[in-house]
Amino acid sequence: MRNEGNEQSWYSLGIIWAGAMICIPSLLVGNALISSMSLPMALAVALVGYTIVVIIMVLQGMQSSDLGKPTVHIAGHVFGKTGSRTILSIILAIACLGWFGIQANVCGVALANLLAHFNVNVPTPFASFLSGLVMVISAIYGMKVLRVLSYIAVPLLVVICVFGLVQTLTGDHLQIILDYKPKQTMSFMDGLAVTIGSFALGAVIAGDYSQFSKKRADVFKAATFGIIPAGILMIGVGAVLTIAYQTSDITAVFLNIATPFIGGVALILATWKTNLVNAISGGIALINVFNVSKEKEKVAIGIAGTVGTLLAVVGILNYFTPIMSILSAMIPPVAGVMIASYWFMNKGDKNSWHEVEGVNRLGVFSWLAGAIIASAPVVLSLFPELPQIPNQPLIGIVISFVIYYIGHRITVQKSIILEENR
């Protein structure tokens, strides 16, 4: 349970969540959106998408604030103690490995382009491999390296983004931004899936950070003021810079800000910093999935980073949009089941919560059904010759919610009937 010494203000929690949004992935979302839609539509997608993310975060975070427990323990009520650890660990492992590959790929492209400016030609797959390898080795050394990189990378990224934004809005690039007319190839719903997918995991595990909040209002204020302004700002910056420098390649954008060396180094350090977190979290998730001894943590981190590096070598960055769409389909249904149980079945009463031993099959089935149905449009989009289904990014969380709610009602009714017939 929470103790007095661990309590945090809504402001400190909001800063943590805002800091999580100030990263290369947020810029990549802006880059992906603006390549296929207008700037006003991209900003509208960002507003709606992050508002949905905040609603999920608030409902998830308040559960942990009420009970003073992290998400994996709260989920033990609906998925069972074993089920919650397995499901959340699998999702965390997949998300971290995917993000590691994307970031290492971005770093590899940046490194290859930067070296090309000095007449040193290195193939992008090899540069991605080297980048991933350095990230894996440094991740094994853990928090010390991460702390040093964070002190350097985050301020440098903010400075470069601000400098690039001022440069584009006050120079010749401004007219290019005003005249921008993209080919409309991404629907609002597809854009929503990308935006939600970029922070879906953060929304579902919001309780890991809000468990020390004193009251529910703190969670609401922290999520609202921490996520929405920072998220829209970063997507807007990514979009504006992409338009101004007339390229959909985020690495080329950074190489055009200030000097190629400064922009390239900022991008490399930022991806490096974020990937240490991905490798460490991915390694811990693998330990939980396969029930490996804690002593093998460094080995697990090495394996997670190596898998992510291989994904970078094969060019996972080229599949950024479908990956974000898959994450937006697979992760929110976890919240759908948890919200149905805590807020609708138990009326938000913390005294009704209890952890269930083993696996709660109804909870697992509800999540799986929502995840599979929501993922279908994304999977089908990879095979143009097959019939297509419109992308509905919220369908998974709705389906998992409904299945669990109805299934729980039926189970309770059966229990009552059995009791009466005894």
CATH number of 4-420: 1.10.4160.10
Residue 400 has a pLDDT of 96
Residue 399 has a pLDDT of 96
pLDDT tens for 57-116 read: 999 999 999 999 889 889 999 999 999 988 999 998 899 999 999 999 999 999 999 999
Residue 169 has a pLDDT of 84
Residue 135 has a pLDDT of 92
Q: Which helix (H) or strand (E) holds 320?
A: helix 320-330
Say whether 82 sits in a helix, a strand or coil: helix
Classify residue 244 by its DSSP letter: H
Instruction: Report whether 305 contacts 282 (CB < 8 A).
Output: yes
In 10 A of CB 171, how many CB atoms? Answer: 11
In 10 A of CB 268, how many CB atoms? Answer: 21
pLDDT tens for 87-98 read: 999 998 899 999
Sequence-distant (≥ 6) Cβ neighbours of residue 233 within 8 angstroms: none
Residue 4 has a pLDDT of 52
- Tell me the two tokens of residue 266: 């900022």
Instruction: Report whether 82 contacts 286 (CB < 8 A).
Output: no
Sequence-distant (≥ 6) Cβ neighbours of residue 319 within 8 angstroms: none
Residue 342 has a pLDDT of 95
Q: Which of 52, 63, 55, 64 is nearest to 347 (CA)?
A: 63
Phi, psi of 239 (to 5 degrees): -70, -50
CA geometry: angle at 198 spanning 41 and 44, to 5°?
15
What does the alpha-carbon distance between residue 287 and residue 277 come to, in Å, rounded to a whole number? 15
Which burial class, exposed, middle or buried, applies to 420 when counting CB atoms under 10 A from its CB (0-12, 13-18, 19+)?
exposed
Instruction: Report whether 45 contacts 33 (CB < 8 A).
Output: yes
Residue 108 has a pLDDT of 94
The low-confidence residues of the chain, meaning pLDDT below 70, are 1-6, 142-143, 422
Residue 321 has a pLDDT of 84
- Tell me the two tokens of residue 402: 């409904």
pLDDT tens for 178-235 read: 888 887 788 899 999 999 998 998 899 998 889 889 899 999 999 999 999 999 999 9
